[in-house]
Amino acid sequence: MPIFNDIKEILTGLAITFSHMLKKPVTIQYPEEKRPMPPRFRGSIVLTRDPDGGERCVACYLCSGACPVDCISMAAAEDPSGRRYAAWFRINFSRCILCGLCAEACPTLAIQMSSEMFPCKRELMDMVYEKEDLLIDGTGKDAEYNFYRHSGIGVANPRGGNRDEQPPVDARSLLP
C-alpha cells in the first residue's frame, strides 16, 4: 500500500538524520587546522631551482603571457655572464585561479604548481607574492633538468657562428 511505502521512506530519512547526529562533526578550523590533501592537489605556485642551485627562471615572460588573468609580472635582467634572470617576479594570488597554464608554458620548469594550499589572508596586498616568497630551495619535479645545460650561455662564438646555426636576421632589412 502506498501509505506504508511513504512511512517507510520517512523513517529511512529520519534514521539517516539521527545516525549523522551521533557522528563526530567534521568541521575543520582552517587556517589554524589543515586537512591532509591528496597528493595530486594543486593549491599554490612556487619558483624552483636547477640541480646546481641556480634560479631556473630566465624571465622569458611566457608564463605571464599564458596566464588568463594577468596575475604574473616580472622584469628581466642579465648577470655579467649573460645569464638571464628575473630582477623581480610577482604573482598576485588574489587573482590567480590555479589553472596551471603558467607551469605548462614554462620552458625551464621554473614555475611549478605546489600541493601546498595557499594561505588565507585578510588583506589583498598580502596576497601579492614576490620572488623571495615564491623561490624555494628545491627542484620540484624533474630534479635533473637544467635549462642552461642545453642553451642560454657559454656559446663559443658570436651568434650565427656556431655549428648548425644560421646567421641572425637583421630585422631592419625586413622593413619595406
Residues making contact with ligand SF4 (CB under 6 A): 45, 57-63, 66-67, 69, 71-72, 74, 91, 96-102, 105-106, 108, 110-111
Q: How far is the CB of 155 from ligand SF4 (least distance, A)?
A: 19
Residue closer to ligand SF4 (CB basis): 19 or 96: 96
CB neighbours of 51 closer than 8 A, spacing ≥ 6? 139, 143, 144, 145, 146
Q: How far is the CB of 3 from ligand SF4 (least distance, A)?
A: 56
CA–CA separation, 167 vs 176, rounded Å?
21
CA–CA separation, 50 vs 110, rounded Å?
8
CA–CA separation, 127 vs 93, rounded Å?
5
Contact 141, 112 (CB under 8 A): yes
Residue closer to ligand SF4 (CB basis): 97 or 143: 97
Residue closer to ligand SF4 (CB basis): 14 or 124: 124
Q: How far is the CB of 16 from ligand SF4 (least distance, A)?
A: 39
Q: How far is the CB of 112 from ligand SF4 (least distance, A)?
A: 9
Contact 111, 16 (CB under 8 A): no
